[in-house]
Chain A
Amino acid sequence: MAEPMKIRTTLKGDIAEVRVLMVHPMETGQRKDASGNVVPTHFIQEVTVKVNGRQMLEAQISQAVSRNPVFSFRLKGVKAGDKLEIAWLDNHGERSQSVTAIA
């Protein structure tokens, strides 16, 4: 099971700055382990951001995103209490979703 994301929102007027941290190794497939074997790729490929069920943002990412990815996004026309859903899917088909209220 994927660890839950850490999401922080800061609301200024009707714009929310969303900062999300995902716990993920983001293996590039180029790193070798202690015994010299190549560590296979394992990275998040898709990220979606929804507010009150409506998709606002979608990202496709590669192994070039750093380990334990941190993203900041800005969402306009939102208010305190709106339901924010962030989800990711990795190249092993593993997925994670976190839900929080904008504050």
Chain B
Amino acid sequence: MNPIRRTVFQAAGALAAGLFLAPLRALAAWNKEAFGAKTAADALKIIGVAGSAESKDIAIEAPQIAENGAVVPIEITSNVPNTRSIAVVIEKNPFPLAAKFDFGDGALPYVKVNVKIGESSFVRVVAEAGGRHYSASKEIKVTIGGCGG
């Protein structure tokens, strides 16, 4: 193969790789520090929640008693106007921060997800709206834990 052709191919390859990777780089990187935090307070601090006001506008639908901690359905609705994100913290889990959802234009501040709960714990939901934080919590009792196996 002649060297010029090779260069052209290499350049095209690099460009294609760049185009493929570009949209992924636009994502915020996974928050390793927050997800690695061992306490709920630390995890919340790292994601920028210094304090939050208890709010009745956040609804948490979850079983009071979960027989199987490996699969606990949690349904969250924020009725706080302009909610941009929702963080889910399972206080007694080894790594309490379970998930953070960022809602763009068009996505309603609602999510349903199945989570693992190691032992009976409060589940705290923190919603961010207009730069302020609002929270609600619910205690879930677990008969069989969901983290070991």
Chain A interfacial positions (CB closer than 8 Å to B):
15, 28, 30-32, 45-46, 48-49, 51, 54-67, 69-78, 89, 91
Contact = CB atoms under 8 A, between A and B. Distances in A.
B102 A30 contact: no
Interface of B: 24, 27-28, 30-31, 35, 70-72, 75, 90, 93-95, 97-108, 110-117, 146-149
A70 to B, nearest CB: 6
Contacts of B31: 60
A45 B113 CA distance: 14
Given A58-B27, A59-B100, A64 B114 contact: no
A49 B90 CA distance: 24
Contact of A64 (B93, B103, B105): B93
A72 B112 CA distance: 5
20 contacts: A30-B94, A48-B27, A51-B106, A56-B104, A57-B107, A58-B27, A58-B104, A59-B100, A59-B102, A61-B99, A61-B100, A64-B95, A64-B98, A64-B116, A65-B113, A66-B116, A70-B114, A72-B112, A72-B113, A73-B111
Contact of B149 (A32, A45, A61, A62): A32
A64 B99 contact: yes
Contacts, number: 111
B148 A30 contact: yes
B100 A71 contact: no
Contact of A71 (B30, B113, B149): B113
A76 B70 CA distance: 31
Nearest to B43: A62
A76 B108 contact: yes
B106 A76 contact: yes
B108 A75 contact: yes
B102 A58 contact: yes
A15 B107 CA distance: 9
Contacts of B100: 59-61
A47 to B, nearest CB: 9
